[in-house]
Amino acid sequence: MFSKEKLGIYKVPTTPTDAMSSSLLSLFQKKNIISFYNFLDKFDKTNPSTFGKLDPNTNTMQDYFKKFGLDENSADFLGHAVAMYRDDAYLTRPAIETFERLQLFVDSMGKYGDSPFLYPIYGLGGLPESFSRLCAIHGGTYMLNTKVDEILVENGKCVGIRSGEETAKAPMVICDPSYVAGMNKTKVVGKVVRAICLLDKPIPNTKDVPSI
């Protein structure tokens, strides 16, 4: 069960300025989290001289939280509200994985308004547009309004799809379970519970920020 801080009900201190103004951090923790943000701002995974005394490829995120003196509340902010991990497994993983997520979030702040997210600024149409752009950048082909007639299977492994008389091969097929109904190719490995809250007024103590 996430605490309300983990769920982002209050404005998350995602920059040194946010950290200084946050009512959720003690004065001592504000100093520590600003120190961590400054370290993250200079961190370059291709330049070992920016690693400090620890190695993010082998040391865990928990090691870095301890190094910077960040308590559980500050770690929750960074791990769940900024890096967007759904559980605490990242704490024992190499820190480089979390650093990349944190840098992406912080670098995205202020790019398009006050929120780091493009969605839902331009509506649902932004989702297929972003997928098609990434697909084109990586040399893929994006087909709209194309019916999938069959999932192709060879030696027990999905190898592509068939649409009419045309086939598309790929080393991996990612699809909604409904596409393989009756093929006995799916199993439930976990569930995610999400909630959408419709509010009639701004959330207190957030200074009416557009993303929380």
Burial 112-150 (b: 16+ CB within 10 A, else e): eeebbeeeeeeeeeeeeeeeeeeeeeeeeeeeeeeeeee
Alpha helices in the chain (DSSP H): 16-21, 27-42, 61-67, 72-76, 95-108, 126-137
In the predicted model, is pLDDT for residue 14 greater than 70?
no
In the chain the first and final C-alpha atoms are separated, in Å, by 18
pLDDT of residue 55: 96
pLDDT of residue 152: 92
* Region 69-83 average pLDDT: 89
In the three-class reduction of DSSP (H, G, I as helix; E, B as strand; rest coil), residue 71 is classed as: coil
Antiparallel, parallel or unpaired: β 150-154 and 157-163: antiparallel
* Region 111-121 average pLDDT: 75
16-108 CATH: 1.10.405.10
Threshold 0.85, pTM exceeds: no
Kindly state the percentage of the chain with pLDDT values over 90. 35
- Residue 210 pLDDT grade (very low, low, confident, very high; cuts 50, 70, 90): low
Domain ranges within the chain, ordered by starting residue: 16-108, 114-142, 147-206
- Tell me: the pLDDT tens digits for 126-174? 788 888 888 899 988 877 788 999 999 999 888 999 999 999 898 888 8
3-class SS shares of the chain: helix, strand, coil, % to 5 = 35, 10, 55
pLDDT of residue 18: 67
* Region 5-30 average pLDDT: 61
